Amino acid sequence: MTYPVPGNPIDRIPKVELHCHVEGTVRPSTVVELARKAGRPLPVDDPADLYRYDSLDSFLSIFWLVQETLVTRDDWARIAYESLVDASGHGLRYREMFFTPARHLAAGQDLAGIVAGLTDGIEAAEAETGVRCRLIADIDRAYGPAAGLELVEWIGELRRAGRAERVIGIGADSTELGVDLRAFEPAFAAARWLGFRRTCHAGEAVGVGPDNIRVALDVLGAERIDHGVAIAEDPALVREVAARGVPLTVCPLSNVVIANRYRQLSDHPLLALRDAGLLVTVNTDDPAMMEHDLGREYRLLGEAFDLDLEALGRLAREGIDSTWLDDSERRSLRAEFDRA
């Protein structure tokens, strides 16, 4: 397989990405076209003008606006395809990618069509670029625990029917404020019973401490924590999570720009957590909604923490340990990274 060879040396570092929402990767020009097609005019001419946030919840209102432009199977195929093609130019080789269909299902879309569309787009991008991608169906916590359980059961049915083979995991995202994560225990129990891997956004929003991380691990049985940066406030939990080998999928720039949790990247605890023995990966979360990409994430980290190309390469390679690939797939991906 031939990968595009980017000009920038940081883009040439091969990378995995485990925390990226497909709806947060839509090209601004595509947002405009899809909005027009869906008859949902945007309040601005340039979607980039929407992309200013002062908190996670203010970001979510824009995220939902972009989500509403996704109506047909072809729309989902287009955004998955463009997302992977764009990221391949910044070194992406393997992604476990979130999609969050609660809003669409509530509006009457068919989950089978959404998954089929995403699969179409992923297959086309894989054939063209060599990047590989699997899906994680994310529960939108704002829609409540019953909708979460329904999503898990529906995905389970599709998979039994051989129509959701790309979906390997279940996650939970969206707001953390005023939400009791414990209420999602039935959805996560069903995910486990149906054989899905499990991850959960926790410890992201400003005003949220490490308690949600504890709930995600001990009540929901999460095998990974998305963000999880609030863990830095609880050294005992850091030691425990390190010992259990539970990875954190960290999105440093997102925590600055979207959650407004840190004033600047150099305040971010990513490297301190890694030094404390945690498995961490570097991810973009919603790159298009921050005019951002995976290569830039590594470049900015390198600048903030004085990491050279080799150190960034090691950080990228460590990400393989946090994937849900089996041992032989991990070995072959490591060999591929080493060759590059």
Please state, in angstroms and rounded to a whole number, the distance separating the CA atoms of residues 112 and 256: 35
CB 223 within 8 A of CB 197: yes
The least CB distance from residue 186 to Zn ion, in Å, is 22
Spot the catalytic one: 82, 150, 204, 297.
204
Tokens for 78, please give them: 């287009």
Nearer Cβ to Zn ion (114/259): 259
Burial of 262 (0-12, 13-18, 19+ CB in 10 A): middle
Nearer Cβ to Zn ion (3/64): 64
Total site size for Zn ion, rule CB under 5 A: 1
The least CB distance from residue 173 to Zn ion, in Å, is 5
* Interface segment toward Zn ion; rule CB under 5 A; list 82-90, 121-129, 258-266, 279-287: 279-287
Choosing from 17, 75, 150, 285, the residue that interacts with Zn ion (CB under 5 A) is 285
The least CB distance from residue 238 to Zn ion, in Å, is 21
Residues for the chain: how many in total? 340
- Residue ranges in 155-194 that form contacts with Zn ion under rule CB under 5 A: none
- Residue ranges in 208-247 that form contacts with Zn ion under rule CB under 5 A: none
Tokens for 194, please give them: 């149906």
Q: How far is CA 275 from the centre of its chain?
A: 23
The least CB distance from residue 309 to Zn ion, in Å, is 27
CA distances in angstroms from 209 to 152, 178, 286, listed in the order given: 27, 13, 22
Q: Which amino acid, residue 138?
A: D
Please state, in angstroms and rounded to a whole number, the distance separating the CA atoms of residues 325 and 135: 12
The least CB distance from residue 201 to Zn ion, in Å, is 5
Nearer Cβ to Zn ion (205/237): 205
Binding mask 35-64 for Zn ion (x = CB under 5 A): ------------------------------
Closest-approach residue to Zn ion (CB): 285
DSSP state of 210: T
* Interface segment toward Zn ion; rule CB under 5 A; list 65-73, 191-199, 206-214, 277-285: 277-285
**Residue 318 falls in the annotated catalytic set:** no
* Interface segment toward Zn ion; rule CB under 5 A; list 25-33, 210-218, 282-290, 292-300: 282-290
Nearer Cβ to Zn ion (94/337): 94
The least CB distance from residue 78 to Zn ion, in Å, is 21
Nearer Cβ to Zn ion (19/104): 19
The 10 Å Cβ neighbour count of residue 108 is: 6
Phi and psi of 137, rounded to 5°?
-80, 120
CA distances in angstroms from 208 to 173, 202, 227, 229, 231, listed in the order given: 14, 9, 12, 10, 10
Nearer Cβ to Zn ion (20/34): 20
Nearer Cβ to Zn ion (32/56): 56
The least CB distance from residue 74 to Zn ion, in Å, is 25
Burial of 140 (0-12, 13-18, 19+ CB in 10 A): buried
* Interface segment toward Zn ion; rule CB under 5 A; list 119-127, 261-269, 285-293, 325-333: 285-293
DSSP state of 249: E
* Interface segment toward Zn ion; rule CB under 5 A; list 7-15, 62-70, 238-246, 283-291: 283-291
What sections of the chain are H helices per DSSP? Answer: 9-12, 28-38, 56-67, 73-88, 102-106, 111-129, 144-160, 185-193, 211-218, 235-244, 252-257, 270-275, 294-305, 309-318, 327-339
Q: Which are the catalytic amino acids?
A: 204
Residues forming contacts to Zn ion in the complex (CB under 5 A) are 285
